[in-house]
Each structure stands twice: as structure tokens, then as C-alpha cells.
Amino acid sequence: MEEKLRQLKDKALRELERVSDLNSFRDLEIKYLGRKGELAEILKSIPSLNGEEKKIFGALGNEIKNELAKKFEEKRIFFGGKRERGFIDITLPGEKIEGGHLHPITLVQNDLENIFTSMGFMILDGPELESDYYNFEALNIPPYHPARDMQDTFYIARTDADGTGVSDLVLRTHTSPVQIRAMQKYGAPFRGVVPGRVFRSENIDASHEHTFYQMEGLMVDKDISIDNLIFTLKQLLNGIFKRAVDTRIRPGYFPFVEPGIELDIKCALCGGAGCPACKHSGWLELLPAGMVHPNVLRAGGIDPDIYSGFAFGLGLTRLAMMKYGIEDIRLFNGGDLRFLKQF
Ligand code: DAH
């Protein structure tokens, strides 16, 4: 073994001495130091030797390998004039590149978008930094109206170029302002959904976050009734859960709809028995909705004597929690890969 190693070394050094250009140098490097080169062939048999021999020849093999690597490197510099980043064995298999994947909220959002585009709804975006007017006033919530207390708002101070300060901006507390923007831009008839990120100044716990997702829906046309609304909401739930889910409908108050309803689904986490996620009621508020208030249609430039409409404000984050059985809302924005990789 020792003999073999030394012979190989001498032979390699002799040939290295004679090599006259970079290309033949590279061939030689592969021949002796490559992954399937002559040195590797000999080294391969070392692990099967007995204890003492393994130690001796292992050390010798390494020594010779390092010595040859050094000499080859010197020669490379001699030919190339500059040092390359070591030997690249192009026969090695490539590194596995880890594929990314979609966030659970995005998965649910994509499903919803498919359901709604199949029913002829368009998909819209709106600004996350919104004016007080669109976020509240145009939605029938004037300043000082107690309904403002329903949403803990981040008011944003703005300083204009002339130095005067105003605070007519808010981080939007819901996706509803896009109802007004959509009506102003597209008029009636209209059908659209608005998935998006919204913000509230919340005390954070397992079911409250300062940043979460909603999906607004709006349909305006002649003779739209609450039947159209309920049918659409049920289509939505069947499409997402792909099974029958228990629902109940209660009256609900929102200034921008009249009448307003709350569609609850039976809590998927506890099956209706009661748990912290459903505040021990067995039901979860998932889909607040209603018939668009005439003042809101007017703010959107639509005549409420001719047109009517329905709107809903789906809790996208909450829906994702129900669909996947996620018990803590903080996981969504936490960035913990152990959580995210499960989807
Ligand atoms: N924007 C409301 C919220 O975030 C939810 C909502 C209720 C939206 C009723 C609607 C609706 O479109 O009709 O609390």
C-alpha cells in the first residue's frame, strides 16, 4: 500500500513536471486528483484495512494528497497566472436547491379567487395607507360616530410640504374602502372581490393580530337581494371547505350595510363544543355581510333608486385558521419555517 502510494506520487510529480500547457494540466489533475482519479482509487480501499493499518495508511494517503494538491496548485498558478478557486469537478452532482412554497393565506386566497372569478367577479387591489374619508366617512361612518370605536385604528400623522400637519390618513382597518373606489371607477353593474392586508391597533393574543387579511366582496346591479348574497356566501364556503359546513345567520350591525348580517360557521377546531378560538361559543364569526347602504352607493356615485347591492367582508386569516386547524394567529406573521413548511 505504501509502495503504491509513493509510486503514484512520484509518477504524478514527474508528469506534472513535463506538462506544458493549461489544458493538459487540467487533464492530469483529473487523472490523479479527480473524484475518480488514481489517488481516489487507492484511498478508497483504506477504510477496509484493519485498525492499525488504516491509521497509518490513512495518514500517509492524506499527506500525499495534500502534497500533490499543493504542487498542482503551484503549477496552475504558473500557467494561469492567477489563483483559481480550487479544482471544480464538473462530474459532481449539483446541489439541491430548496423550492419555496406559498404561504397558507396565499393558498386560501388563490382558492377564493378561483371561486369568484368562476362566478364572474373581478379581483381588485386598494391602498393599505388609506384616507380617513375612504376608510370611514364614505362608508357611512362620519367623524365622531360611535361606530368608529368598533375598529382600533392606527391614525397616521402627515406633514405637508408647507409644514402644516394633518392626520387624515389611516392604515386601513378593513378592505371595505375599496368598495367605494371600485364603484367610482367602474360604476354599475359591478362584481368584484378585494383580497388584502388590513391593520388594527390590537392587544395581540392567540386570536388577535395587528396585521391580518380580509377579502371584501361587492356586487351591485338591478334587483340584487339578500338571496343573492346568501347563495354567494354558501358557494364560497362549499368551494373552500369542500364539504358541508354548519352555518347560522344572525343580524349584525355595520354602518355601511342595511340590513347587516353575520354568517357564522361551526368552529372547526372544537367541532362546536367550545374552545378559546371560538370564545367557548362553538361558533365563529366568519362572514359579516349585508345589503349596501344607500349612502354608500351614493358615495360611490351610484343611484340607490336604480341599483342595489350586497357586500361581505370575509376574514381571510380566520378562514385559513379554520381550514388548516391553526390555533394561534401569531404563527402567520411569525416567519417560523417549521410552521410554514407544513403547507
Ligand atoms: N369591514 C367590516 C370589518 O372589518 C366587515 C364587513 C361587514 C364588510 C359587513 C362588509 C360588510 O362588506 O357588508 O369589520
List, for residues 3-35, the tens digit of each pLDDT value: 889 999 999 999 999 988 888 888 999 999 988
Return the residue whose CA atom lies nearest to atom 9 of ligand 1. 289
Q: Is 176 in the pocket of ligand 1 (CB under 6 A)?
A: yes
pLDDT band for position 83 (cuts 50, 70, 90):
low
Better pLDDT: 267 or 125:
125
Residues 78 and 163 in one domain: no
CATH no. for residue 125? 3.30.930.10
108 in the same domain as 44: no
- 57 with 123, same domain: the answer is no
User: At a CB cut-off of 8 Å and minimum separation 6, what does 162 contact?
Assistant: none
For residue 98, tell me if it sits in a domain: no
**Closest ligand 1 atom, residue 173 Cα:** 4
The model carries a pTM of: 0.71
CA of 288 to the centre of ligand 1 (A): 5
Interval 268-286: pLDDT, tens:
788 889 988 788 999 988 8
Tell me the pLDDT of the chain averaged across its residues. Answer: 91
Residue 198: inside a domain:
yes
Q: What is the mean pLDDT of residues 172-191?
A: 98
Number of structural domains found in the chain: 2
Binding site membership of 315 for ligand 1 (Cβ less than 6 Å) = no
Q: Average the pLDDT over each of 7-11, 192-196, 266-270, 304-308 and give the range with the smallest value.
A: 266-270
Residues 170, 265 within the same domain: yes
Q: Is residue 92 part of a domain?
A: no
Q: How far is the CA of 268 from the centre of ligand 1 (A)?
A: 22
**Is residue 312 domain-resident?**
yes
Residue 90 lies in a domain: no
| Shared-domain flag, residues 194 and 258 | yes
CA of 248 to the centre of ligand 1 (A): 17
| Residue 75 in domain | yes
What is the pLDDT, as a whole number, of residue 90?
84
Q: Are 73 and 118 found together in one domain? A: no
Banded pLDDT at 160 (limits 50, 70, 90): confident
In a mutational test of the pocket of ligand 1, which residue from 193, 215, 254, 263 has the highest number of ligand atoms less than 8 Å from its CB? 254
Task: Tell me the CA–centroid distance for residue 150 and ligand 1, in Å.
Answer: 11
Q: For residue 267, which of 276, 278, 279 has the smallest C-alpha distance?
A: 278
**Cα of 251 from ligand 1 centre, angstroms:** 13
* Together in a domain, 42 and 129: no
Could you tell me if 140 and 289 lie in one domain?
yes
Q: Coil, strand, or helix at residue 138?
A: helix
Confirm if 236 and 314 have CB atoms less than 8 A apart: yes
Contact (CB, 8 A) for 209 and 330: yes
Sheet architecture: strand order including 257-266: 122-123, 190-199, 211-221, 308-315, 283-292, 257-266, 247-251
Q: How far is the CA of 145 from the centre of ligand 1 (A)?
A: 17
Probe ligand 1: pick from 256, 285, 297, max atoms within 8 Å of CB? 256
Range of the structural domain that residue 14 is part of: 2-85
Together in a domain, 46 and 133: no
CA distance 93 to 99: 17
Whether 119 and 78 map to the same domain: the answer is no
